[in-house]
Amino acid sequence: MKRLLIGTLFSCFTTLCVAQQTIEITDQTLKISGEEYLYFGFTAGDEVVFSLEEVNGKELREVEILRYPDQVVYSNLQVSKTQKRIQIMEEGVYQFRLKHSGLGSRMCHLSIGRIPAAGKTNFNTAVKWVEQSSTEASIIGYETKQVACSRRVVADIDTTIETILNRTERIHSSTNLNGNTNSIRFSIPEAVYEPNIHLPYKATETVSWAYAISTGTTGDAWYKSANTKAAASNVTKAMISTGFISSGYGALALLAIEGVSMFSSPPVAGDNILFTITNDASKRPVAEGNSVTAFGKMTQHLSGNYTLQLTNDNMIEAINVDVKIIAVLVTTTYRDEEYLETQFIPIKEQPTVKPEKVLVPVIGG
């Protein structure tokens, strides 16, 4: 329980930090009838969080992001919905181009956020237009350049089992004055991303969880039989090295990780138990039944608080109910990998004519 409490507090703290790091620049809905341009300034080390969705599910002809005036950093065609994170390598004005051709118009919801570079939280992203002397240079060719880049790749994946519940509950008969229902609250671990969810070096996520519920000595024999079959199964060779089989959760771990069941049908003899597992947030049951034994695997509802309710409908005798719940956590570690990217740099020739006055965008509106 202490581990779960610390994990929950750490998850909340991580989520709060991520929310503070992401700065909203614009969130608006635009009507695109031809071309629409937006300009914002970013500094080296920033990360741009960009999302666009056509409200009616239609498509824009083209979406582009450029470092002004002509260095393309992102381009896509026939876009109805997109989400993109872009690392800013060089400070400058960045132009967001939304293009539509054809009949009618497009209604697009656009959101642009910024995860600031270290020490650049107060960087001014506004852009103003100023008059400068300039001449139009003509492109006479291109040169090929190898540019050193970095990308994040998977370095290691580790799977672990975390015990959520392992206990025996004494449930009174239906005629007992103290009631015949016990409620047990439990939590499935929240995902943790270090240092943040947008570009983590380490991510720990719950990928599934499983439960086994049984009553009395009959249920105990049922559970042990499943573990015996799991230990003899060829499917478990990879799991034996990780210690899952010897942990006492062999059959349950096999169910949670591989989706393979070694549990037999409920025994004919024995006391039945009515159970319901409810999501505390939605107040809706995610599993329920009435049997001597029960088991199941969850690949949805992978975090949050739950309540297990056990009810004994026997009018005379109390029963013992064994409850086991485990969660499968996958920790993915990432590393930065250096690689070379070929870029084509335009070669421009400056004309020998009198400079003209033109408006250009600069950072610092």
The hierarchical CATH code for the domain 22-137+356-363 is 2.60.120.380
pLDDT of residue 136 exceeding 70, the answer is no
- Cα separation, 254 vs 233, in Å, equals 10
Provide mean pLDDT across the span 159-184.
Answer: 93
With a CB cutoff of 8 Å and minimum separation 6, the contacts of 337 are: 150, 151, 152, 153
- Cα separation, 213 vs 81, in Å, equals 44
pLDDT of residue 12 exceeding 80, the answer is no
Per-residue pLDDT, 152: 86
Supply the DSSP symbol for 248: I
Per-residue pLDDT, 69: 87
- Cα separation, 30 vs 106, in Å, equals 8
Per-residue pLDDT, 132: 72
The residue ranking higher by pLDDT, 114 or 5, is: 114
CA dihedral 163, 164, 170, 173 (to 10 degrees): -140
The hierarchical CATH code for the domain 153-335 is 2.60.120.380
- Cα separation, 73 vs 88, in Å, equals 9
One-letter amino acid for residue 248 of the chain:
G
Instruction: Indicate the range of 184-198, 234-248, 307-321 predicted with least confidence.
Output: 234-248
pLDDT of residue 143 exceeding 70, the answer is yes
Residue 288, strand partner residues: 276
Residue 205: what are its φ and ψ, rounded to 5°? -130, 145
With a CB cutoff of 8 Å and minimum separation 6, the contacts of 80 are: 53, 54, 57, 58, 59, 60
pLDDT of residue 240 exceeding 60, the answer is no
Residue tagged 């899952």 (tokens):
244
Instruction: Indicate the range of 80-89, 164-173, 193-202, 356-365 predicted with least confidence.
Output: 356-365
The domain limits of the chain are: 22-137+356-363, 153-335
pLDDT of residue 10 exceeding 80, the answer is no
Provide mean pLDDT across the span 350-365.
Answer: 66
Place 110 in a pLDDT band, splitting at 50, 70 and 90.
very high
One-letter amino acid for residue 88 of the chain:
I
pLDDT in tens, 15-53: 444 444 789 999 999 999 889 999 999 999 899 999 999
Q: What angle do CA 72, 75, 78 make, to 5 degrees?
A: 155
pLDDT of residue 241 exceeding 50, the answer is no
Q: What angle do CA 40, 47, 39 make, to 5 degrees?
A: 10
Per-residue pLDDT, 2: 38
pLDDT of residue 84 exceeding 70, the answer is yes
- Cα separation, 261 vs 179, in Å, equals 34
The residue ranking higher by pLDDT, 315 or 14, is: 315
The residue ranking higher by pLDDT, 233 or 96, is: 96
Q: Of 183, 194, 139, which Cα lies nearest the Cα of 351? A: 139
- Cα separation, 297 vs 309, in Å, equals 18
Is-contact 86 121, C-beta < 8 A? no
Supply the DSSP symbol for 174: T
Per-residue pLDDT, 359: 72
pLDDT of residue 239 exceeding 90, the answer is no
Residue tagged 């506004």 (tokens):
126
Place 354 in a pLDDT band, splitting at 50, 70 and 90.
low
Place 256 in a pLDDT band, splitting at 50, 70 and 90.
very high
Q: How many CB atoms lie within 10 A of CB 306?
A: 24
Per-residue pLDDT, 9: 39
Provide mean pLDDT across the span 245-274.
Answer: 86
Tell me the average pLDDT of the chain.
85
- Burial per residue of 212-225, b for 16 or more beta-carbon CB atoms within 10 angstroms, e otherwise: bbbbbebbeebbee
Residue tagged 């049908």 (tokens):
265
Provide mean pLDDT across the span 230-248.
Answer: 61
Q: Of 255, 234, 236, which Cα lies nearest the Cα of 324? A: 255
Q: Please report the DSSP string for 163-221 in residue order.
A: EEEEEEEEE--TT-TT-SEEEEEEEEPPPEEES-SSS-SEEEEEEEEEEEEEEHHHHHH
pLDDT of residue 248 exceeding 70, the answer is yes
Q: Evaluate if pTM is beyond 0.75.
A: no
Instruction: Indicate the range of 195-199, 209-213, 235-239, 278-282 predicted with least confidence.
Output: 235-239
**Encoding tokens for residue 33?**
């009838």
Per-residue pLDDT, 13: 38
pLDDT of residue 8 exceeding 80, the answer is no
The residue ranking higher by pLDDT, 132 or 120, is: 120
Per-residue pLDDT, 20: 47
Provide mean pLDDT across the span 309-335.
Answer: 94
- Cα separation, 98 vs 88, in Å, equals 20
Alpha-carbon 235 to chain mean position? 29
Residue 103 in 3-state DSSP? coil
Residue 72, strand partner residues: 66
Q: Rg (Cα) of the chain, in Å, rounded?
A: 30
Residue 321 in 3-state DSSP? strand
pLDDT of residue 166 exceeding 60, the answer is yes
pLDDT of residue 283 exceeding 90, the answer is yes
